Amino acid sequence: MKTTQNDNGWFRRILQWASESESEGADAPEDPEKQEFQEYLEYIDAHDYIEFGAYRYMRYQQRKELGLDEPTSHYTAEPPTPQKKQKGKKSHHKQGVLRKQLRWYQVASVLITCVIFWILCLVVMELPEFGALDAPAWNEVVQRYLQQGREETGAVNAITGMILEYRAFDTFGESVVLFAAAISTILLLRTPNQPLRQRKAGDEILKELSKYLLPIILLFGFYVILYGHISPGGGFSGGAILGAALILASLILGAGEVGRVLTSKRVTYITVFSLLTYAVMKFYSFYTGANHVGWEIPKGEAGHLFSGGFLLPLNLCVGLIVACTMYTFYTLFIPTEEE
């Protein structure tokens, strides 16, 4: 049956599906998955709504208690006996005890949110008007950054100059947070020797298009990082573009292709190396009293590529950290063989 279906191709299968031929109809009830789903529908009709996964898990536990079958076969066992079903129903009611006993739970949560909304609205109405020139946030700190920033940091982009010179310690902590999140995600999701599922090779059109598109995206990402102190952009935004390009590449070319070049070990090495480079480059200013401005590195002329002291390599480090972390997050959530 199956082989003939495959031979006939997709068009024939669609025709068969459309006409619902006799043989298909006769086969259908024997499909254990369909049968189980039918039982599931009856169960939620008779009792209360419960997710399919939770239902299957419950059934599986019941069968295991009865000793009906091996744990691996989900589908072929007898439906649970009425008593067991009753028990399942009971425990299901038990789980909703908060919702059932405290009937006002939802009402109360909506009320609390409304009260918070109202308080916040009152506060917002008291704030200085949007875009007001005499707002208290517009103080001497901003004035200093905007007036002296160009001479002191050598960066045209005031935001890059701010986050990498005046507030470099903040940004370092930021990168460490990223690194810590990546490491804990790896710890949670990675089990040893789990092969990645080999995706089918992507569509031909996509592959051909990606040949021209991917280099441009990568180039643009590097441009945004390298010109971060001259034009809008910087390490964080450019790193996000690079990470998106890597994710796109592994979607189109298959995770295995990209994974051969960028193994998880190499990605982690790059991240750690960038973090250490950042720390070493900023160590001097941390050591001399956290005054990151005005030390003896030639600033160059503001507006040129090689200007602003260490801004360029610092931006590169931040960009690499962000790109590698994005890519790591993506690779960790690809389904593996066992699932």
Partner 1 sequence: MLELILEQRYYLVSILLFSIGFVTLFLHPNLIKKIIGLNLMDTSIFLFLAAMGYMEGGQAPMIEEGSNWAMYINPIPGGLVLTGIVVAVSTTALFLSLTHRLYRKYHSLNLDVILMLAKKGREDT
Residues 6 to 45: which contact partner 1 by CB under 8 A?
none
Task: State how far the alpha carbon of 311 is from the alpha carbons of 15, 163, 173, 187, 305, in Å.
Answer: 64, 10, 17, 33, 10
Q: Under a CB-based contact definition with an 8 Å cutoff, are residues 122 and 100 in contact?
A: no
Query: Using CB under 8 A, which of 56, 85, 87, 199 touches partner 1?
Result: 56
143 binds partner 1 (CB under 8 A): yes
189 binds partner 1 (CB under 8 A): yes
Q: Which stretch binds partner 1 (CB under 8 A): 39-47, 91-99, 263-271, 307-315?
A: 91-99
Considering the complex, state which of residue 94 and residue 265 has its C-beta at the smaller distance from partner 1: 94
Query: Using CB under 8 A, which of 62, 80, 154, 162 touches partner 1?
Result: 162
Task: Name the CA radius of gyration of the chain, rounded.
Answer: 30
Considering the complex, state which of residue 183 and residue 217 has its C-beta at the smaller distance from partner 1: 183
Q: Which stretch binds partner 1 (CB under 8 A): 164-172, 192-200, 211-219, 270-278?
A: 164-172
Cα–Cα distance measured from residue 267 to residue 324, given in angstroms and rounded to the nearest whole number? 6
Considering the complex, state which of residue 163 and residue 210 has its C-beta at the smaller distance from partner 1: 163
Considering the complex, state which of residue 26 and residue 124 has its C-beta at the smaller distance from partner 1: 124
Q: Which stretch binds partner 1 (CB under 8 A): 19-27, 139-147, 280-288, 291-299?
A: 139-147
Cα–Cα distance measured from residue 186 to residue 325, given in angstroms and rounded to the nearest whole number? 11
Q: Which stretch binds partner 1 (CB under 8 A): 29-37, 119-127, 204-212, 274-282?
A: 119-127
Query: Using CB under 8 A, which of 71, 131, 195, 298 touches partner 1?
Result: 131
Q: Under a CB-based contact definition with an 8 Å cutoff, are residues 217 and 244 in contact?
A: yes
Considering the complex, state which of residue 118 and residue 306 has its C-beta at the smaller distance from partner 1: 118
Cα–Cα distance measured from residue 312 to residue 229, given in angstroms and rounded to the nearest whole number? 7
**Which distant-in-sequence residues (6+ apart) come within 8 Å of 81 by Cβ?**
none
Residue with tokens 């536990």, as numbered in its chain: 61
Residue with tokens 């901003």, as numbered in its chain: 142
**Site residue total, partner 1 (CB under 8 A):** 72
Cα–Cα distance measured from residue 131 to residue 279, given in angstroms and rounded to the nearest whole number? 37
Query: Using CB under 8 A, which of 80, 154, 221, 234 touches partner 1?
Result: 234
Token pair recorded at residue 258: 């990209």
Query: Using CB under 8 A, which of 109, 198, 288, 336 touches partner 1?
Result: 109
**Which distant-in-sequence residues (6+ apart) come within 8 Å of 246 by Cβ?**
258, 262, 323, 326, 327, 330
Q: Which stretch binds partner 1 (CB under 8 A): 29-37, 38-46, 142-150, 305-313?
A: 142-150
77 φ, ψ (degrees, to nearest 5) = -75, 170
Q: C-beta of 248: minimal distance to partner 1 in Å?
A: 17
124 binds partner 1 (CB under 8 A): yes
Degrees to nearest 5, angle at CA 210 with 208 and 211: 70
Query: Using CB under 8 A, which of 14, 41, 102, 127 touches partner 1?
Result: 127
Task: State how far the alpha carbon of 113 is from the alpha carbons of 98, 118, 152, 189, in Å.
Answer: 19, 9, 46, 34
Q: Give the DSSP letter of residue 306.
A: S
Cα–Cα distance measured from residue 240 to residue 153, given in angstroms and rounded to the nearest whole number? 25
Considering the complex, state which of residue 175 and residue 285 has its C-beta at the smaller distance from partner 1: 175
113 binds partner 1 (CB under 8 A): yes
* Residues of this chain, 241-280, that bind partner 1 according to CB under 8 A: none
Considering the complex, state which of residue 210 and residue 243 has its C-beta at the smaller distance from partner 1: 243
Query: Using CB under 8 A, which of 238, 310, 326, 331 touches partner 1?
Result: 326
142 binds partner 1 (CB under 8 A): yes
